[in-house]
Amino acid sequence: MASEPVSTVFFLSDFGTQDEFAGVVHAVIAARAPGTTVIDLTHHIPPFDVRAGSHTLVRAVPHLGSGVVLGVVDPGVGTARRGICMEVAVRAGGTLFFVGPDNGLLVAAAEAAGEAPITRVVELARDPAPDRGATFDGRDLFAPVVAALCSGTATLLQLGEPIDPASLARLPGGVVEQGRLHDGRTCLRAEVTWVDHFGNLQLAATVADARVAGMPAVGSIELAARIESGREYLDGLPHSLVPDGVQLRCVDAFGALERGEFGIIADANGHLAVVAAEASAAHWLNVVAGELLVLAW
């Protein structure tokens, strides 16, 4: 079965944009598969931060049509870690291919996009390059594969040998735990999975998680504590870095908050987010991705 050519590529990396890395990948695809539309999701994933890249892809995939997701956050480039391509039938119809390293970057997004468990995965075959290092698989391995899919010159199974989906590298999910504080209040401990450009703090907890935990949808929630990544904490007596708590008003729009006020909102991905009025909640609460927030009511 010949693959139908696909015409759109969704490209994410930690390449930054100060160098020519991302542009050269575009050029390789344009030369081999003219007419392909390559959309940059972002190239500003923090260097080597595979988990941040994975979260970003999970957020993006519900909004992509058919095409190829090219993800390159790849500290293991040049080592024995595999390059992979997955083919996924998308819930909304159509097909998404995922091309990149087998380090956990792609698999959560492929599962989020697909209507069924992943079954079609290959390990990409590779040719060694003469007289230059094997440090740029984005250009030398993945871009040619993407171009082959886009130009229809290769099917999935022509790209390499099938591998067992159970063997794919995976990352731990974000922490979401319901609990009870020593004062008897119910609490939700949730990891900050993303600090966006505006300083909004996305939590691993979804609107559905909040509903299950019985979190009120009106009034205020208390941000009772902030727990640094990797810190121990006692249940009911968390190591509090938010002195005396911070009130988060439940709102539907950033603009409903007064200057100086913090809020909690259902964000555009269906997750809870801690936000501030035309300001950076991350800055004012001194929170970074990977920390846990304890919300109490």
Q: Are 287 and 192 in contact (CB under 8 A)?
A: yes
Question: 3-state DSSP helix/strand/coil percent for the chain, to nearest 5?
Answer: 25, 30, 45
Question: Using the 8-state DSSP alphabet, how is residue 254 labeled?
Answer: G
How far is Cα 183 from Cα 225, in angstroms, rounded to an integer?
14
Longest dimension (CA), the chain: 66
Task: Give SS3 for 277.
Answer: coil
Is 81 near a copy of itself (CB under 8 A)?
yes
Is 209 near a copy of itself (CB under 8 A)?
no
Shortest reach from residue 224's CB to a copy of itself, in Å? 23
Out of 5, 91, 115, 135, which residue is the one contacting a copy of itself (CB under 8 A)?
135
Q: Applying CB under 8 A, what is the total number of residues that bind a copy of itself?
A: 69
How far is Cα 126 from Cα 189, in angstroms, rounded to an integer?
44
Q: Which two tokens stand for residue 169?
A: 């590298």
Q: Which one of the spans 110-118, 128-136, 150-158, 282-290 is the region binding a copy of itself (CB under 8 A)?
A: 128-136
Question: Using the 8-state DSSP alphabet, how is residue 43 labeled?
Answer: S
Shortest reach from residue 96's CB to a copy of itself, in Å? 11
Out of 158, 170, 208, 216, which residue is the one contacting a copy of itself (CB under 8 A)?
208
Residues binding a copy of itself (CB under 8 A): 7-8, 10, 12, 15-21, 23-24, 26-28, 30-31, 34-35, 37, 39-44, 47-48, 56, 59-60, 63-66, 75-79, 81, 131-136, 139-140, 194, 196-198, 207-208, 252-256, 265-270, 273, 278
